[in-house]
Amino acid sequence: ESFLNHTAYLSCYFPNSHKTDIKDIIVFWQKGAVEVVHEVYYGQEKHDNLSPKYINRTKMDMDKWTLQLLNVGIVDEGQYTCIIQHRDKGSPKVIHTSECLLHIIANYSQPEIAWLHTGELKPNEYLNLSCSSSGGYPQPKQLTWLISHGNKTRRSMGHMDVSQDAVTKLYNVTSKLNTTVPINTPTNISCLLHLGEQLGSLVSVPLAI
pLDDT, tens only, 124-162: 778 889 999 999 999 998 999 999 887 888 888 878 899
Predicted pLDDT of residue 126: 81
pLDDT at 60 over 80: yes
The CATH number of the domain covering residues in 2-105: 2.60.40.10
Closest CA to 174 of 191, 150, 155: 191
203-to-117, 187, 193 alpha-carbon distances in Å: 23, 16, 6
Q: What is the pLDDT of residues 177-207, one digit of tens each?
A: 988 877 778 889 999 999 877 788 999 999 8
Predicted pLDDT of residue 141: 86
31-to-60, 160, 180 alpha-carbon distances in Å: 15, 33, 53
Predicted pLDDT of residue 104: 94
Predicted pLDDT of residue 43: 84
Residue 134 sits at φ, ψ, to 5 deg, of -140, 165
The model's pTM is 0.81
Predicted pLDDT of residue 154: 87
Report the percent of the chain where pLDDT is more than 70. Answer: 99
Residues paired with residue 31 on neighbouring β-strands, in sequence order: 35, 80
Q: What is the pLDDT of residues 85-129, one digit of tens each?
A: 998 777 888 999 999 999 999 999 999 999 887 777 776 778 889
Contact 175, 145 (CB under 8 A): yes
User: Has domain 109-208 been given CATH number 2.60.40.420?
Assistant: no
Residues paired with residue 36 on neighbouring β-strands, in sequence order: 30
Location of each CATH 2.60.40.10 domain in the chain: 2-105, 109-208
Pairing assessment for the beta strands 44-45 and 35-41 based on DSSP bridges: antiparallel
Please count the CA atoms within 13 angstroms of the CA of 142 that sit on its side-chain side. 8
